[in-house]
């Protein structure tokens, strides 16, 4: 069980992808401080997928972040990927550190960062690993917790996928939902900028994140995005950021009257869910009986014609009932895979 403590003021973090120059950093920070942002982000060391791109201004940029603190009173956060980064960031008085998506994929790198943090109590944000693997994300929190770090939060920034075309990184909302279940009490902040990959889609994803009850937003803002040295397509101008913040719908906590209204619906949903489980159990009992017959009579477990036919019938029925076709196919695929697993298990116990 990982024990975490809340990080203050992380409901809104904004700033450029990279700290590029003193002027760019301060111009951006001043405009965000005026808009009430309490934590300023800027990458000092930039992990680039391909070499030859801007890799960050490095240690001199820490001085610019120090100036942001004194000039605006905002707290500052930057990415660290190794012990040398941690040491320099701590020395410069950076308030919050974040571990980037590429680093979270590497247990060696995360362990190195965790070891370098031992004995400090600085808050750490952990971006999801670039690949959709929840265990790696959880592993990073375990390594940090093992080094005594308590104030931790997750940043959901989307997952790499070869086929994804709509977003730069696919949100896979179910993964942060499962993360919250596995680490109760952990704050999960959403980074719609990296998910979207294009500035015009950032507000839409930010709203989706609020609808999913995110604990905060982590947004890239640059005074002149088209000239940015990294992630130039996805950064908002300070004016676009202000426009977005004005339009986002921030949800309130449900009050007794809301709960009273939803109660009959929820109770009906609980009944349906229980019935679904009962139906599934019945289904697998029947599958078990057929499995035994197939075994005794030397028949293959998988009968592809039957599988295809049922999948088509169910998808068609789902369509008639207004359900999503892909969802029904996927659901049946999952149920069928479990039937096969049960039948194989049975065979092995005979």
Q: Using the minimum distance from each CB to Mn ion, give the nearer residue, 95 or 231.
A: 231
DSSP H/E element including 98: strand 96-99
- Residue 196 binds Mn ion, judged by CB under 5 A: no
Backbone angles phi, psi at 212, to 5 degrees: -90, 10
In angstroms, give the least distance from the CB of 157 to ligand PEP.
4
Rounded Cα–Cα distance for residues 339 and 288 (Å): 8
Q: How far is CA 114 from the centre of its chain?
A: 21
In angstroms, give the least distance from the CB of 6 to ligand PEP.
22
Query: Residue 221 carries which DSSP code?
Result: B
- Residue 79 binds Mn ion, judged by CB under 5 A: no
Residue 190 vs residues 125, 204, 300: alpha-carbon distances, Å = 11, 12, 47
In angstroms, give the least distance from the CB of 48 to ligand PEP.
9
- Residue 95 binds Mn ion, judged by CB under 5 A: no
Could you say which of ligand PEP, Mn ion, none residue 203 binds, taking C-beta under 5 to 8 angstroms by partner kind?
Answer: none
**Binding footprint of ligand PEP on the chain (CB under 6 A):** 17, 43, 100-102, 127, 157, 194
Q: Using the minimum distance from each CB to ligand PEP, give the nearer residue, 44 or 328.
A: 44
**In the range 215-234, which residues lie near Mn ion by CB under 5 A?**
231
Could you say which of ligand PEP, Mn ion, none residue 157 binds, taking C-beta under 5 to 8 angstroms by partner kind?
Answer: ligand PEP
Rounded Cα–Cα distance for residues 215 and 173 (Å): 14
Angle at 322 between CA 278 and CA 330, to 5 degrees: 55
Query: 130: closest CA among 169, 89, 82, 77?
Result: 169
Going residue by residue from 4 to 23, which x/- string records binding to Mn ion, judged by CB under 5 A? Answer: -------------x------
- Which two structure tokens, joined as six digits, stand for 119? 């004995």
In angstroms, give the least distance from the CB of 71 to ligand PEP.
22
């Amino acid at each position: 069980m990982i024990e975490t403590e809340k990080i203050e003021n992380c409901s809104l973090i904004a700033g450029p992808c990279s700290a590029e120059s003193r002027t760019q950093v301060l111009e951006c920070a001043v405009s965000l401080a005026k808009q009430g942002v309490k934590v300023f982000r800027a990458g000092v060391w930039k992990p680039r997928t391909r070499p030859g791109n801007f890799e960050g201004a490095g240690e001199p940029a820490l001085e610019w972040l120090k100036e942001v603190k004194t000039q605006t009173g905002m707290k500052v956060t930057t990415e660290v990927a190794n012990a040398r980064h941690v040491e320099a960031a701590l020395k410069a008085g950076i308030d919050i550190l974040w571990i980037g998506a590429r680093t979270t994929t590497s247990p060696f790198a995360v362990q190195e960062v965790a070891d370098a943090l031992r004995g400090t109590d600085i808050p750490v944000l952990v971006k999801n690993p670039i690949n959709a693997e929840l265990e790696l994300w959880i592993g990073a929190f375990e390594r940090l917790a093992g080094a005594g770090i308590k104030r931790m939060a997750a940043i959901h920034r989307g997952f790499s996928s070869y086929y994804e075309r709509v977003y730069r990184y696919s949100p896979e909302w179910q993964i942060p939902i499962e993360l919250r279940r596995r680490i109760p009490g952990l704050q999960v902040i959403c980074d719609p900028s990296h998910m979207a990959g294009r500035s015009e889609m950032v507000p839409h994803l930010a709203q989706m994140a609020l609808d999913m009850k995110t604990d905060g937003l982590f947004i890239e803002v640059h005074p002149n995005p088209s000239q940015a040295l990294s992630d130039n397509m996805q950064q908002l101008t300070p004016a676009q950021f202000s426009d977005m913040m004005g339009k986002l719908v921030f949800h309130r906590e449900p009050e007794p009257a809301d709960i009273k209204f939803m109660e009959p619906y929820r109770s009906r949903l609980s009944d349906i869910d229980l019935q679904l489980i009962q139906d599934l159990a019945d289904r697998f009992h029947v599958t078990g009986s057929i499995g035994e017959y197939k075994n005794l009579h030397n028949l293959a477990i998988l009968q592809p014609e039957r599988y295809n036919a049922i999948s088509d019938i169910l998808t068609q029925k789902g369509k008639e009932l207004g359900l999503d076709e892909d969802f029904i196919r996927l659901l049946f695929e999952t149920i069928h895979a479990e039937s096969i697993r049960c039948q194989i298990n049975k065979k092995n116990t005979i």
